[in-house]
Chains A and B, each alone.
Chain A
């Protein structure tokens, strides 16, 4: 007889499964965590290399001469910006036209669902200005984009100056095979979203913008420049985009290749690369860099203006100039040469960047881990859920014949009250999730009327209130249902919850590995070991401590710690509140999926487990 159909063998296997289940789960969990931490260990990573043939080995001699003139233009821009009190549209249009570009503007308006306290805006009105440099001999089928944001105060003036300087230099060259679009966007991400939506004729987030009159063909790649000082000591590369999407690794390789050629210090996550991977401090440095990338990717927000391009399959990255206390300074001409070299290489592209990896983690700028190496860490955690589900299935299968042979207390088959009794907690949990998703924004006016708080605080506190109110649900739902509370019932519910959680985390990890992994780290232990029979106060405390909300709080604290700006618990809490409000804003402004995922799917799942804990 076959291995699984022979009842003796099957009983032996299931006995083995039941006996060894808990130890295997613990081992898998530890193995998953250790695998993940081992990803930062240098011998386990691969060196980055250029995969695209068209951006091949030959380098061009860069000749950009006009760094000082770019700085002067930047100062002019700053003066006009201060005079106008916003984006100096007329001056920009005139300057771009004098450099020989085809200039167009786009105005946009956006009303945020509630005021953004970080950036202090509520009703946003702005203009994007962009100039197109037409390729001298090519047809207008492909384009490259260089953007610099128009920020408030004294930030990013040099970026705009350098952008205009490069525009003038590029205009006098004959070797451009693609159109180059020089974009100055106002109100950073909101302006960028309006421009991209106008360019691609989509309107996914409900903004109001004027249509674009000038286009340049399909955009192949884009770079966003942030430069706020005349000289810099290093260049930082920012890759993480919306919903944790990353550009093709070849873009990072290109940046690194040029940094090495030109001799500029380059960093990622603001951290320089170290050579001593054998030592503990070297390893912890790489681990910190990787953890920063993981946390930034898990947050699902775009960490630079480039983050919104990725959704349209345009490879984009942000280059940020950093001026710190080092002796060796790099001037604007060198940065201009680096950008010129990068654009000449991108000019040689025949197709979009696709040869290198799209899913990777970078413990440093020259080392990466691809999806094939980091996915097993998540797989080990997901296996725990499946093992527990299998165990429960075996228990359910063993108990069902038992009750049939037993006294005929229940006339119906054991399964039907099971299905009905679990449907109620599932539905109620998901309704709470829907409430958590909709109510905070909808009810902010009512909250502001009744409580002395601002709109943002109202939204955030309502969200926390609904989250905490969900904790009281099991006691209330049990009043609605009569007399099911069986052993069988909670097992079925737990089986459903485990499978649901496994599918949810699996899908999340495929799209955004970091988010899936972090949620798995906190949710898998409680999903695996929660039963109504464990010690209730202790289990309840652990469940609350490992709930998605608290996981978010820990992530915020760890992120601050890794950025070397540790915060106290009080400041951490304020930061946590602002993170929640930013999450809700990101979702409504740019379509970030982290908040809906947590509110509509993860939180109900956790509530189901909470229900199991308090099952009577």
Chain B
């Protein structure tokens, strides 16, 4: 089994809402950004997209700060935030281009998601959403189908090894319903038909500071340090219904490894294992190829298997859905009444006895 440490981490953290009353979405995004930076991922591997500037908004009573907790303990904006896509640059098109890598050649490295087939990618989205879509900037939407296709493109172009998708919006679970590419694990803050709620209002700033799911996610992440061994199953338990009011959901059927064996730091943290040696290594002599002494175990020739995109067998042999019985429509009723009336008018009521 390959050591997960060999895989790079990349992140794409996106906030899609603008306007002052959506302060909490920016605070969500910045909190996640701050956590992963604390766990060791450098800015060069993070693409941060913020749709509006809350820190310098004219209505902010504490300019140049974004707080995530109402006691104003933590200014998540800080001094070293590097926003890659800001304001009106956060669009559906730019988001999909970042994911698929189809950017014009003049795009700087900070705006690219430099990932390859050895990267574990974390994608965090927050904003306003609905059943099957996420709203960008109050003017456009990205649908779950588009997102699934973008991930498929990433898979085909070998732009990721494993992908963790976290979404904190209303009806967030609808966004991961359509994924069909392998090695994707998805978490959402609420099921279809449920709203994700915000956490606490701040009475000095006058807005809600964070959403509940991200708040408890952050509390969970605060306990993670670069060498902790917490796994994904603990992440799934974050924010139960009693705290979140909505029911968080997750999806692991596309993921090849067992979620219990996936460490949080595989996605959130960057660990570089350092081996200290006191032996000297002679670099002048020509290289000698070493024998491959690793025992041959059940090496899979193809680690990745392609998902059946059109599961015809399932479709053909699908059992018909159990429909609830509905009383016949008014139209059908009316039609039958009409037919009966015409019959009796034409043939007279005395023929009734011939029928019954």
Contacts and interface: CB of A to CB of B under 8 A. Distances in A.
Contacts of B58: 135-138, 175-177
A137 B206 contact: no
Given A58-B201, A58-B207, A175 B21 contact: no
Interface in A340-381: 344, 347-348, 350
A59 interface: yes
Given A173-B61, A175-B60, A54 B207 contact: no
Chain B at the A interface: SS class: loop
A446 interface: no
A361 B63 CA distance: 42
A56 interface: yes
A435 to B, nearest CB: 57
Interface string B302-322: 000000000000000000000
Contacts of A350: 19-20
B208 interface: yes
Nearest to A62: B203
Interface string A149-179: 0000000000000000000000001111100
Contacts of A173: 61
Nearest to A176: B58
A1 interface: no
Contacts of A58: 201-203, 206-208
Contact of B203 (A56, A57, A60, A174): A60
Nearest to B23: A58
B21 A56 contact: yes
Name A's interface SS.
loop
A482 interface: no
A348 B61 contact: no
B204 A348 contact: no
B60 A54 contact: no
Contact of A175 (B19, B59, B201): B59
A61 interface: yes
15 contacts: A54-B21, A58-B202, A59-B201, A59-B203, A60-B203, A60-B204, A61-B204, A138-B58, A174-B63, A175-B59, A175-B60, A176-B58, A347-B59, A348-B206, A350-B20
A544 to B, nearest CB: 56
Contact of A344 (B57, B201, B206): B206
Given A60-B206, A61-B203, A54 B20 contact: yes
Contacts of B20: 54, 348, 350
Contacts of B19: 54, 350
A174 B201 CA distance: 20
A177 B59 contact: yes
Nearest to B207: A58
A53 interface: yes
B206 to A, nearest CB: 4
Given A58-B207, A174-B63, A350-B20, 11 more contacts: A57-B201, A58-B203, A59-B203, A60-B204, A138-B58, A173-B61, A175-B58, A176-B58, A177-B58, A348-B20, A348-B206
A268 B266 CA distance: 63
Given A53-B21, A348-B20, A175 B61 contact: yes
A53 B20 CA distance: 10
A137 B58 CA distance: 6
A347 B57 CA distance: 12
Contacts of B57: 177
A60 B202 CA distance: 8
Interface in A41-76: 53-54, 56-61
Contacts of A347: 59
Q: Among A53, A138, A175, which residue has the most Cβ atoms of chain B within 10 A?
A: A175
B24 to A, nearest CB: 10
A174 B56 CA distance: 11
Contacts of A61: 203-204
Contacts of A136: 58
A614 to B, nearest CB: 57
A177 B21 CA distance: 14
